[in-house]
Amino acid sequence: MNNQKIVFIGGGNMGRCLIAGLITDGYSRQAIQVVDPDSETRERMKLEYQIRVYESPEQALNSAEIVVLAVKPQIMELAINGIKNQLDDPRPLIISIAAGIRTKSMMAWLGEETQIVRTMPNTPAMVGSGATALFATENVTTKQRTAAESVMRAVGIVQWLDDESMMDVVTAVSGSGPAYFFRMMEAVEKAAVKMGLSEEQARLLTIQTAFGTSKMALESPQAPATLRAQVTSPGGTTERALNVLEQKNLDAIFEEALNAAKIRSTELSNELG
């Protein structure tokens, strides 16, 4: 796997973090190539990662085994039109990290025989702690699924989906999820400052608490509800605070919020496709 020729179409933030993760995992630098029209992006990636960079796809795609489409959803069709005639036989595996572009659309642009893995990573991938969902078209082989999983696992955990429509749910949960947690941290920090802590104290205590809590949840076999109960003493301060959240019907607020994100994800997919 670590010597398969992999070509990134686009050198944006997510593409760069994937490349960094692959190199850290031992992927051969000589096997990684990037196509990007921007000269500054190419020069930066060449210097930072010591990989080959190209301005146009015809210079890079020869014998490619994996092609990662790391472009914005709005220009996906344009990017695909720029590479589809340069793809050799046997055709490479196509991995898309563009939000909202369904495999049906990509197959219409690339050809029905194209083997595609659609992914939905999130921004914590940029610090090696991402959560990515993957969906494969029926013609993707077991070997290709393993290759796609290895690429995305370089920046965090992965989960396979059997139903592509669940990508809209994933978008609402983990795709948009970091913003929910940032917002909660923001609210806790603001409240702490109002109660007398300095901004620096409030921020550090809030961020470290969020980090430690996530680490506990990730490493524990217990469900979050169980962990919450374990740190909530009857009649104590935590119980008093949680009672306020329950009175505000926190579950209903998040259910409504996630449903709104899911609906918007579906709308965007329809628009982009």
Burial of 138 (0-12, 13-18, 19+ CB in 10 A): exposed
Q: What is the mean pLDDT of residues 212-218?
A: 97
Q: What is the mean pLDDT of residues 138-149?
A: 96
- Could you write out the three-class secondary structure of 71-137? CCHHHHHHHHHHHHHHCCCCCCEEEECCCCCCHHHHHHHHCCCCCEEEEECCHHHHHCCEEEEEEEC
What mean pLDDT value characterizes the chain? 95
CA atoms within 13 A on the CB side of 35: 22
For residue 153, what pLDDT band results from cuts at 50, 70 and 90?
very high
pLDDT(90) > 90: no
| DSSP-derived secondary structure letter, 36 | -
pLDDT(22) > 80: yes
The whole-number pLDDT of residue 138 equals 96
For residue 192, what pLDDT band results from cuts at 50, 70 and 90?
very high
How many other CB atoms sit within 10 Å of the CB of residue 180?
Answer: 15
List domains and CATH numbers for the chain.
6-170 (3.40.50.720), 175-269 (1.10.3730.10)
Beta bridge partner(s), residue 133: 120, 159
Look at residues 95, 109, 34, 101 and name the one whose alpha carbon lies nearest to residue 72. Answer: 101
Beta bridge partner(s), residue 158: 132
Q: What is the mean pLDDT of residues 168-197?
A: 98
How many other CB atoms sit within 10 Å of the CB of residue 35?
Answer: 27
Q: What is the mean pLDDT of residues 6-17?
A: 94
For residues 176 and 216, give the distance between their C-alpha atoms in angstroms, rounded to a whole number.
22
pLDDT(273) > 80: no
Share of the chain above pLDDT 90, in %: 94
The whole-number pLDDT of residue 174 equals 97
Beta bridge partner(s), residue 35: 9, 54
Share of the chain above pLDDT 70, in %: 99
Residues 51/29, Cβ–Cβ less than 8 Å: yes
For residue 230, what pLDDT band results from cuts at 50, 70 and 90?
very high
